[in-house]
Structure formats: structure tokens, C-alpha cells
Structure 1
Amino acid sequence: MSAAPVITSPAGTALDRRARWTRPALVANLVAQIGIVVTGGAVRLTGSGLGCSTWPQCEPGAFTPAIHEATTLHPYIEFGNRTLTGVLGIIALLVAVLVWGDRGRSRSYRLLGLAPLVGVAIQAVIGGITVLLDLAPAVVALHMLVSLGLVAASTVLLVRHRTGDGAPRPVVAPWLGATGWALAALTVVVVALGVVVTGAGPHGGDDEVAYRFAVDPALAARVHALAVWAFVAVLVALLVGLFRAPSPATTRRAALVLLGVTLAQGLIGYVQYFTGLPEVLVGLHMLGAGLLAAATTRAVMSLRPRA
């Protein structure tokens, strides 16, 4: 006797497609959120921050750079970053549709799926204000910090997709859980101080107009380094605790990945400081900031996974 054919309803087909596309969309969103940090850094490091003189248009009366004899690469670099923002917006919209439409998941998870789209919209406005205020350092700093916040939120969203909607449950000793929260707080401090260092240094985004934070760059760099060493000390304490006591392999692996990112980021930071802040190394350091935000978020969440 032959088996009865399996009939897939239209609703089931739609659910299958949603499940198949959600994870790739979330991964693409996280990659793009980190990528926009790097391209934004390229705008700043090449002095292209005012390559487009206005917003939302690039030049008065035109959304694209005007071509003439005096045209440099700066307008195209700035316009390219704006275009990538549009691509990121499309990915964020896809994420919002896929996650919000998943009625089988909790409301908190579905609301989190809207964060990338809302964040991109906010970033577009902040970017416009940055241009209109001639790259005011406080607004530029806010632009960077919001980007890193979106990297963290996108990491949370990706991890939540792979896990369930149950309540978070500790898998390590309480003091190790507290160490994880300390790492998260120190990450905010380290990143904020790093933004101040960049805002006080030579890479303001435009060689003629851009302003700088009125602080000593060398002093700001030393304070930033102290915060990094505090972060490393807490991370080492976490790793020692994880390997001395029973803990899940995924938790240990997440902490080791964070250690690798931290050491690489620290090495780049010291090399760029002692070599006069070359643009390539500063750009790599900005990439490292995005990876650090993602790795820290993943490591902290691995201490209290959801059922």
C-alpha cells in the first residue's frame, strides 16, 4: 500500500519560506550594521564628511554628486556611504517583515525585530544633522555610538532567533553572571572613550571645517587604555571562572572569541597610537569596535541562555 501524499497548505508554505529566509536576513543585517561602521569610518578618515554639502540631497537640487573639473573623490565616498545606508534600510525592512510576522514567537522577540529598521531611520536623521552642523564632534560621536548600539541589538536578535522564548536561565555561578554584566558596562565605557579619542584626534572628517573635542588627545588615549585594561582584567576573571567550574562549552567558546577580539583590538590600538594614527589602522580599529560590541553581547547572553 503506497503512502498517502503529503499536502502542504499555502499557509504552511509561507511559514516554511519565512523560516528559511529569517536567519540569512538576520546575519546579513548584523554584517551590514558592522559594515556601515567601517564605511562611515572611511568617510571620516578620507576627509569626505562634507563631500555632500547638504542633506537629504547631496548638492542643492541633486541627490547625486555633481560632476565638474574640480570634483574630487570626497562626494562619491560620502554618497557611497549614504547609498549603503539605503541598502541597510532594505535589509532592516526585510528583517522587520520576517520577524514581526512570525506569530509563533513572543512579542518581545517580534518587537526586537523592528529595532534595526527604527535605528536606520534614526541614523539617517543623525547623519543629516551631522552634515548640516559641519561635523560637530558631539553629533558625530552620537552617530558612532548609535551604530554600535544597533550592532549589539542585531546580535541579540540573531541569538534570540536561534534560541527559544523561555525565560533566561543562568548556567554559571552568580558571581560569573555579575562579571558578565560588568563586561557589558565596561564595553560602553571603552567605546565611549574611544569615540572621544577619535573626536580629539586628527581625523575629524574634513580637513578645513571639522571641529575637534577640546581635550588632550594623548590624555584621552591613556584614559581609554586604562578602561581597556579594566575590561581585560574582568574578562580574564570570567574566563578563569568558566574553566575552573562546570560551564557549557558554548559559553566558554563565546568568552574565548571575545578574548581574541579584545586582544586584536588592543594590539591595533597600541600600534596605531605609536605610528601616528595611520588611516588604515584607524579603520581596522573601527571594525574592531563593531566586532567587540557583537562579541561582548554574545558572550554576556551565553551566561543566561533562553530555554
Structure 2
Amino acid sequence: MSTSVAPSSQPVKLKPIAKWAPTIKVQRFLALLLLIFQGGITVTGSIVRVTGSGLGCDTWPLCHEGSLVPVAGAAPWIHQAVEFGNRMLTFVLVAAALAVFLAVLGAKRRKEIVVHSFIQGLGIILQAVIGGITVLVDLHWYAVALHFLPSMILVFMAAILYTRIGEPDDGEVVTTFPSWIRTVAVIGAVALSIVLITGTMTTGAGVHSGDSGVGMDGRLEVDIDWIAHVHGYSMYVYLFFTLIVVAGLYRSQASTHSKKLGLMLILFILVQAGIGILQYRMGVPRWTIPFHIAMSSVVVAFTSLLWSQGRVRKGGSATVTGSPEGDQKHRELSARKAA
């Protein structure tokens, strides 16, 4: 069934706030920055945790009662700087999401892409609220877990957005993976969800509460050795299903790009497993946690990038902005500049 969109013959109305028709290259660059920032803010969040700076700003949305910014003597200055700096990065993330949203609107991209970009902005706002709740409940483990997991969802969706922006809106939707591979991939995604959930539980039962004054109050009361093994075994299950998916890609003669993504995903899973084993053997030293969190984002992103290749848009004539109307708008804007 074709889902191609015929180019419009009507002239594009140029609104004063939308006299911009960015190319696909520009849109993808902005989407890549958004993807990197979505993963990056989880790393800075982990730095807040391992430095014990989670209550460096002890309220929200203010840093301290009556002050938006850190206050000398209210908490150790390093804790205030780390926590306040992490909060400020949220505005960088908001700027990136807004840039992508305006870019796809300016290029007149299809509804799917606009909705994806809007969800990114909405998700960032929701995450800021969850982060505030986490502070207000003194970093209880369940609140920290609920703060981390939505970030992984946003990383997954940001990777989808990056892929879809590169596809022409007037192209035809083509299923490139056999149905059984997509089924196994769904099972793998469920396994990955379990990996992430048990990972937050392992962290919740561990010694890094997020603030030096909290100690073990509000920690998950479960045997740390047991939950760490559950987390590790769930990673092996996810790796098993990923191996099946990649083997299926080679057997079905999938695109070279898909096969490369699959191999890279396997490599990143192995690296992540290695970091996890190292953490367990060394007693979870602080410096390993940001690396483990960073690789979580990488694994989730590449899982999404590979998943996105299962159904893509091919062909189409919108090769400049990705949208027939966007291409027409781009030509008109170029003609105006040349005049």
C-alpha cells in the first residue's frame, strides 16, 4: 500500500515567523544534537549522584528557599555547583528540542515528524517536574528510578526522530525486515526494558544515594547481590535476542546499513556488560557509574536506530528539505535572496 504524498502545486504561504526552510542535513544535525543531549543529561545526572550533590539545591524550582541560584553556606559549594549546573543543562536540552521543532515546521515536514519533535519538548518539561519531585522526596530510590527511565524513552524516541527526518515525506513506506525479525526485536525491546528497570533497582539498593547526608535512608531494601545478578542475567537475555535479530538480518540479506547497526549494537552491549561486571567485581566505584549510564544511552539509541530500519520511506522527490512543500518553499526563499 503506497503512502506517498503528491507535491502540492499551490504556492507556499510564507509566514513571518517561518521564513526558514532548512535542508535535511540541517534538520538531522539538530536532531543528532538533541539525541546526544538527551543521553548526555543522564550522564551529568549520574555525576550529581556519585558526588553526593543531589540536595546541593534542596528545593525546586528554586535552588534554595527564596533563591533561584546557589546561596553561599546553604550547602557545600561543590554540591551546589554540580546540582545547579545539571539543572541549567535542562535549558540547553530545551533549546535543542525547540530548534528541531522549529526546523521541521519550517521545512513543512509530515505530521509524524512534527509530533515526534513535539513529544521531545513535552518530555523534557515532564522530566524537569519529575526531577523536582525527586529532590522534594529526598532522593528516594523510586523517584530516582522514575527520573531515569523516562530519559531512556526520550533517547529511544530521539533516535527514531533522527532516522525519520532523513526519509522523504513523499516516499513510499517499505517494510525491510521479515515479520519474524520484528517480532524477535520486540521481545528484545521488552528484555531491554527489564535490563533498565533492574538497573535502577540495583542502583536503588546500592550505596550511592545521591546525597552525602541522606545515607541509606530511602534505599531499596533488597539484597544487592541478588538484584545485581538479576540485572546481569537480563542483559544476557537481551544480548541473546539481539544476536538472533542480527543473524536474521544477514540471512535475509538486509541493507548494509542495518547490518552495521546490528554489529555496533552487539559491540556496545558487550562493552556495557563488561563495565557492569567490572563494577560488581570492584564494589561499584563512583567513577564507573557515569560510564555505565553513558553506555545505557548508547545501547538504547542504537537499539532504536536498528528498530527504525525495519520500516522506512524510500523514493520520493523531496530531496532538499524532505517535504515537497518544503522544497518549494526553499526554492522560493532562495529566489528571493538571489533577487
1:20: Cα distance to partner?
5.5
Q: Structure 1 residues 167, 281: CA separation in 2 closer, same or farther (over 3 Å shift)?
A: farther
Using the aligned pairs only, state the percent identity. 34
Q: Name the SS of the counterpart of 1:164 in structure 2.
A: coil
Q: Which letter maps to 1:256?
A: L
5+ long unaligned stretches in structure 2: 1-11, 315-339
- Quick one: structure 1 residues 228 and 111, their matched pair in 2 at CA, closer, same or farther if it must change by over 3 Å? same
- Range 132-141 or range 65-74, more displaced: 65-74
Task: Label 1:155 to 1:202 Cα distance change in 2 as closer, same or farther (>3 A).
Answer: same
CA contact (8 A) 1:183 1:231 kept: yes
The alignment yields a C-alpha RMSD, in angstroms, of: 2.1
Contact 1:100 1:113 in 2 (8 A): no
CA shift digits 1:146-192 (9 cap, x unpaired): 11111111111100001234564322322212122222221111111
Amino acid at match of 1:189: I
Moved more, 9-18 or 147-156: 9-18
Q: Following superposition of structure 1 onto structure 2, how do residues 22-101 of structure 1 map, counting pairs within 5 Å?
A: 22-68=27-73, 71-101=76-106
**Relative to structure 1, is the Cα distance of residues 57 and 248 closer, same or farther in structure 2, using a 3 angstrom cutoff?**
same
Q: Is the 8 A contact 2:139 2:210 kept in 1?
A: yes
Q: Call closer, same or farther: CA 1:212–1:162 in 2, change over 3 Å.
A: same
Q: Relative to structure 1, is the Cα distance of residues 143 and 167 closer, same or farther in structure 2, using a 3 angstrom cutoff?
A: farther
- Read off the aligned partner of 2:283 and give its amino acid letter: G
Show the counterpart of 2:236. 229
Higher RCO (C-alpha 8 Å, min separation 6): 2
- 1:247 match: 254
For residue 21 of structure 1, the aligned residue among 20, 26, 35 is 26
Match of 2:175 among 162, 170, 174: 170
Question: Do the aligned residues in 2 keep the contact of 1:102 with 1:110 (CA within 8 Å)?
Answer: no
Cα pair 2:21 2:107 within 8 Å, conserved: no
Change beyond 3 A, Cα 1:18–1:63: farther
1:211 is aligned, of 218, 231, 252, to 218
Alignment CA distance shift 1:70-1:181 (3 Å): closer
**SS at 1:169 equivalent:** strand
| Paired residues, number | 298
CA change 1:200–1:70 in 2 (3 A) is: closer
- Is 2:195 the counterpart of 1:190? yes
Aligned amino acid, residue 298 of structure 1: L
Distance 2:264 2:135 in 1: 37
Check if 1:119 corresponds to 2:123: yes
Q: 1:134 aligns with which of 134, 138, 141?
A: 138
Change (3 A) 1:15 1:205: same
**8 A Cα contact 1:137 1:199, kept in partner:** yes
Change in 2 beyond 3 A, CA 1:202/1:194: same
Residues 69 and 93 of structure 1, relative CA distance in 2, 3 Å threshold: closer
Alpha-carbon distance in structure 2 between the residues aligned to 1:275 and 1:82: 31
Post-superposition offset of 1:33: 0.5
Gaps of 5+ in 1: 1-8
The match for 1:306 among 313, 320, 329 is 313
Aligned residue in 2 for 1:256:
263
Judged with a 3 Å threshold, the aligned counterparts in structure 2 of structure 1 residues 164 and 180 are, in CA distance, closer, same or farther, namely farther
Equivalent residue, structure 2, for 1:272: 279
Distance 1:258 1:186, change over 3 A: same
4+ residue segments displaced more than 6 Å? none
Cα gap change, 1:69/1:108 in structure 2, threshold over 3 Å: closer, same or farther?
closer
Cα distance in 2 for partners of 1:296, 1:69 equals: 43
Measured against aligned partners, the alpha-carbon deviations of 1:252-278 in whole angstroms (never above 9, x if no partner) come to 011111111101000000011100101
The more displaced of 168-177 and 264-273 is 168-177
| 1:4 match | none
Report the CA distance shift for 1:30/1:70 in structure 2 as closer, same or farther (over 3 A). Answer: closer
